[in-house]
Amino acid sequence: MKYLLAAIAFTWTAALAAHEGHGDTPRVAAKAARPAKPGLAIGAAVSPGGLLWVVGLNPDGRLFVRTSTDLGLTWSDAQLLDSGNDRIAADGENRPKIAFGPHDRVVISYTQPLAKPYTGEIRMLRSDDGGKSFSAPLTIHRDRQLITHRFESLAFDRAGVLHVVWIDKRDQVLAANAAGTASAKSAYAGAAIYRNESRDGGLSFGPDIKLADHSCECCRIAVAPTPEGGLAAMWRHVFEPNVRDHAFAILGGDKAPVRASFDDWKLDACPHHGPGLAASTQGGYHAVWFGEKAGRAAVRYGRLSPVGSPEGEARELPDPRAEHADVVASGRQVAIAWRSYDGTQTRLRAWVSADDGAHFALRELATSSDENDHPRMLATPAGIRVLWRTAREIHVLPISP
Q: What is the DSSP letter of 25?
A: P
Closest CA to 396 of 49, 70, 96: 70
Q: How far is CA 391 from CA 57, 58, 81, 230, 372, in A?
A: 12, 10, 21, 36, 6
pLDDT over threshold 50, residue 3: no
Strand order of the β-sheet with 43-46 is: 43-46, 52-57, 63-68, 79-80
Task: Look at residue 180 in the predicted model and tell me its pLDDT.
Answer: 81
β 361-368/3-4 pair status:
parallel
Residue pair 321/342 in contact (Cβ under 8 Å)? The answer is: yes
pLDDT band at 37 (very low <50, low <70, confident <90, very high): low
pLDDT band at 179 (very low <50, low <70, confident <90, very high): confident
**203-221 pLDDT per residue, tens:** 999 999 999 999 999 999 9
Taking the CA of residue 133 as centre, how many other CA atoms within 13 Å lie in the half-sphere pointing to its CB? 4
Calculate mean pLDDT across residues 354-378: 96
Helix (H, G, I), strand (E, B) or coil at 237: strand
pLDDT band at 184 (very low <50, low <70, confident <90, very high): low
Calculate mean pLDDT across residues 283-301: 97
pLDDT over threshold 70, residue 25: no
**83-114 pLDDT per residue, tens:** 999 999 998 899 999 999 999 999 999 999 99
Helix (H, G, I), strand (E, B) or coil at 18: helix
pLDDT band at 30 (very low <50, low <70, confident <90, very high): very low
**317-337 pLDDT per residue, tens:** 999 999 999 999 999 999 999
pLDDT band at 183 (very low <50, low <70, confident <90, very high): low
Q: Taking all residues of the chain, what is their mean pLDDT, rounded to a whole number? A: 90
Calculate mean pLDDT across residues 291-304: 97
Task: Look at residue 278 in the predicted model and tell me its pLDDT.
Answer: 98
**E-strand spans in 3-93?**
3-4, 43-46, 52-57, 63-68, 79-80
Q: Give the whole-angstrom CA distance, residue 94 versus residue 218.
A: 8
Domains in the chain: how many in total? 1
Residue 294 CB partners (closer than 8 Å, separation 6+) = none
**Cβ neighbours of 82 (radius 10 Å):** 13
Q: Give the whole-angstrom CA distance, residue 380 versus residue 46.
A: 7
pLDDT over threshold 50, residue 49: yes
Residue pair 360/369 in contact (Cβ under 8 Å)? The answer is: no
Task: Look at residue 185 in the predicted model and tell me its pLDDT.
Answer: 67
Task: Look at residue 14 in the predicted model and tell me its pLDDT.
Answer: 32
Task: Look at residue 73 in the predicted model and tell me its pLDDT.
Answer: 96
Which CATH number covers residue 255? 2.120.10.70
Long-range contacts of 254-261 (CB under 8 A, 24+ apart): 255/307, 257/211, 257/212, 257/308, 258/307, 258/308, 258/309, 259/309, 260/234, 260/287, 260/304, 260/308, 260/309, 260/310, 261/287, 261/289, 261/291, 261/300, 261/302, 261/310, 261/314
Q: Before 320, cis peptide (omega within 30)?
A: no
pLDDT over threshold 70, residue 11: no
Lowest mean pLDDT among 25-29, 141-145, 227-231, 248-252: 25-29
Domain that holds residue 26: 3-398
pLDDT over threshold 60, residue 21: no
